Every structure is written in structure tokens, then in C-alpha cells.
Structure 1
Amino acid sequence: MSFDFEYMLSLMPILFKYLSTTMELACWGMVFSVILSVILANIRIFKIPVLNQLCQLYISFFRGTPLLVQLFLLYYGLPQIFPVLIGLNAFSATILGLTLHFAAYMAETIRAAIISVDRSQMEASLSVGMTTGQAMRRIILPQASRIALPSLMNYFIDMIKSTSLAFTLGVAEIMAKAQMEASSTFKFFESFLAVALIYWGLVVILTHIQTWAETKLNKAYSR
């Protein structure tokens, strides 16, 4: 069978209708991942008893097991043990899975970024009457965010691509729609090439945004 370029072009508008679901999954996952990873990083830095050990166990598990397995555990496995989770829908389970998975990676990135900020910054903050929490929020974390930005953007790009696993739970996102179209027309190459081009286009756009953000944040340090 020859390549059907016209079919691929006609499929693009259909796939774009489901792009919002993909981006919603990724954006919510990113927001919650950043919040959770900052909490985990601070627990690791200040070595809070018990919580520090639990964080290490959490990070080890979610970094050491595949995301697909984690999604299946959350959506199919946990409701068998905790009946209260039976009402968890596939969309929420996907966001929860993305959050827990990527927060384990981001926590180590943010921890390294915070540690890289000179200790004199914290000492100076404490000397003018700030509490440790205020110093972290106002002085340390803003500087650490500049250092962590490239890695966090890479994780966001990876998260967007990882939303393609949501179709295994029945979420109708861009990959799921491409799969359905391919199954109904048997034009698998055209369907999956179309979705691959859309993912690629998103990554190119985000790469340009990352470059702009890095230039903006590094302007004060380039003098």
C-alpha cells in the first residue's frame, strides 16, 4: 500500500481536537509534580527524621519502576485494596500517576539546585531576621529555580510524551484517537506519523520557550 499523504493531512484537525486533553494532563501533572518535588527536596535537605527515610523509599520505588506499571497499580490495583478509590476515574489516575512518577525525579533535581546555591545566601538571610522558611521562599528557591529550569523543562517535555500512556487506561487523548483512527482505517503509518509530528511540534515550541526563559533568567548573571 502506498503512503496516503492526504489522509494524514485530513487526520491532523481531528487529532488537534484531542490535544487539549493531552496538554491538560501534562500541565496538571507538572504543577502537582513541582509542588510535591519541592516538599520532598526540602525534607531530604533538612533530613527530617522518619520523613527523610520515607522520601528515599518513595523516590527509589517511583524511579525504579515503569510509569505504565504505576498507572496500572493506581487505576486497577489500589481500588481492590482501598474501596474508596473505586471512584477514581482514568483522567485523575493519569494525573496522579504522572505526578508521583515525575516528582521522584524532580525532587533530586531541585535538591541539587538548592544545594548549589551558596550557603552564605542562607546565612545572610538569617542574619537580617528571616526565618529559615522565609529565606528558602524569598532567597534560595528563586535562585535554585534558575538552575533547575533546564531540567524541569526537559521533564515537562517528557511528561507530555508520557501522556500517551493514558490511552491504556481509556483516556481519550491524542494518542488514543490516533490508535482508534488507525484501527478503523488500517492506515497505521499515516496515523502514527501524524501524531508523532504533533508531539514533535510541541517539543520544538517548548524548546524555544525554554531558551527564552533561560536567557531572561540569566540576564542578571551575564553582566
Structure 2
Amino acid sequence: MKIDPSFIWTAFVNLLSAVPTTLLITAVSVTAGFVIGLITSLVRIYKVPLLSQIAAAYITFIRGTPMLTHLLLIYFGLPAILDAVSSQWGWGLRSSSIPMIWFAFISFSITAGAYMSEVIRSGLMAVNRGQMEAAYSVGMTTVQALRRIVFPQALAVSLPNLSNSVIGMLHGSTLVFTVSVVDINAQAQIVASTNWKFFESYLAAAAIFWGLTLLIERLTAQLEKRINLYNRGGVA
């Protein structure tokens, strides 16, 4: 096999058009997943009847099955459910009108929520329980104590693992090609198929993913520095 170094740059430039799609999928899934993870972690910590058991089952199932399986279950199952409900109630909505990327949003958000739930829960449990009691003693409500005292400290503890979750979702976004969404990896395959220079195209894709990963790590380091400074009572 003869490598064409000049085509690596050509492929790199062509792949840049798919970067926004990859970043959008990652951002939406991580944001929604964080909200899901926060809710499920609080439900489990405070042992809310029934909901805590449902949350535990959800986390166990998602963590015990592959990410690609989640995507395919949503891709094939959700349209069938939506069309059946729409027909039953006479709605005009049809699954065929839903953009393919929305299936990725839903699936990856559910996946990210399960993994982030454990990260957030471990961070919350790492905060000394005495701080909640101290907050109650000065008249704070549970919500105020969580928001002003517990969450900032838990975030500082959880940030490295949350960063790993973001990177994991960035890399996992390459699975969207299975539902016909063109991300960086899918674009690399399209570019390579024109002249069969797959090695060069995927090398360019790897360089982009590496750069995005380094950027996430750098942003995390800066955020961790500011949070730790704030927790020490300094000026952020």
C-alpha cells in the first residue's frame, strides 16, 4: 500500500464540514445526559419510593448493554411506537418526518444519563454529610444547601470523570452513521470511497478527534482550576 501524504490534508479539509454535526450530537447528548444523570442520582441518594428502583434498573440496563444497541432500539422501536400512538389518537405526526439526527440525540442522551448518574452520585456522596446539617442549622432549605454548598464541591470532585464521559460521547458519536447521519467518521468514508484512500482519510479523522479531545481536556483543566479556587475562597 502506497500512502499519499498530500491526500491527508485534502481529507482533513473535507472532514471539517462534518465537525459541527459531531459537536452538536456530543453537546446535546452530554447536556441532556447531565440533567438525566442529576435527577436519577438524587432519586437514588434520597431513596424516593418506586422511582429509585426504576432509576437503578435504568442504569443497570444501559450500562450493561452496548451503545450501538441503544441507538438501534431507539431507531427501530421509537418510530413504531410513535406511529401506533399517532394512528390511535388521530394525530398527523409520522415518524418519517423526524430528522435522523433526533434518534441519535435521544439514544445518546439516555446512554450519557446512565453513565453520568453514577459519576454525579459518587461526587455528591463524597461531600461530607455534616455540611448539609450545617446548612439546615442556618435555615437553608434542601434545595438551597444542594445548590450553594453541595453541588459546587461535588462538581469539583466529579469533573475529571465528567470530562471522560464527554470524551466518551464524542468518540461514541461515530456510531450515528448507522442511522444515516454524516459525522466525521462517515464523512471520512465518503471522502475515501472516491479514490479508495481509506488510510489517509481515517488518519485525518483521527487527527480531528485527537484535537477535539485535547481541547476538551484543556477546557476541563481550566474549569477545574477555577472551581478549586472558588472552593478555597479565592476569586475566580
Fold match by TM threshold 0.5? yes
Corresponding residue for 2:37?
A: 37
Letter in 2 for 1:161: H
Q: Does 1:155 align with 2:178?
A: no
CA–CA separation in structure 1 for the residues paired with 2:182 and 2:38:
31
5+ unaligned residues in a row in structure 1: which ranges? Answer: none
Aligned-partner SS, 1:18: helix
Q: Does 1:131 align with 2:123?
A: no
Corresponding residue for 2:209?
A: 199
When the two structures are superposed, what TM-score results if normalisation uses the length of structure 1?
0.95
5+ unaligned residues in a row in structure 2: which ranges? Answer: 87-93
When the two structures are superposed, what TM-score results if normalisation uses the length of structure 2?
0.90
CA–CA separation in structure 2 for the residues paired with 1:8 and 1:109:
38
Alignment: residue pair count: 223
Corresponding residue for 2:91?
A: none
Listed one character per residue, the Cα deviations across residues 17-68 of structure 1 (whole Å, up to 9, x for unaligned) are 1101100110111111111110000000000000000001100111011111
Identical-pair percentage: 37
Deviation at 1:181, TM superposition (A): 1.4
Spell out structure 1 runs of 4+ moving beyond 3 A: 220-223
User: CA 1:126–1:22 in 2, change beyond 3 Å: closer, same or farther?
Assistant: same
CA–CA separation in structure 2 for the residues paired with 1:11 and 1:205:
21
CA–CA separation in structure 2 for the residues paired with 1:209 and 1:80:
41
Q: What is the alpha-carbon root mean square deviation over aligned residues?
A: 1.6
CA–CA separation in structure 1 for the residues paired with 2:133 and 2:233:
25
CA–CA separation in structure 1 for the residues paired with 2:65 and 2:170:
19
Letter in 2 for 1:147: V
Residue 213 (structure 1) aligned to one of 208, 213, 223? 223
Corresponding residue for 2:62?
A: 62
CA–CA separation in structure 1 for the residues paired with 2:72 and 2:194:
26
Aligned-partner SS, 1:69: helix
Question: Residues 75 and 88 of structure 1 are in contact (CA less than 8 Å); yes or no, is this contact kept in structure 2?
Answer: no
CA–CA separation in structure 2 for the residues paired with 1:183 and 1:60:
40
CA–CA separation in structure 1 for the residues paired with 2:15 and 2:225:
33
Residue 95 (structure 1) aligned to one of 100, 105, 110? 105
Corresponding residue for 1:71?
A: 71
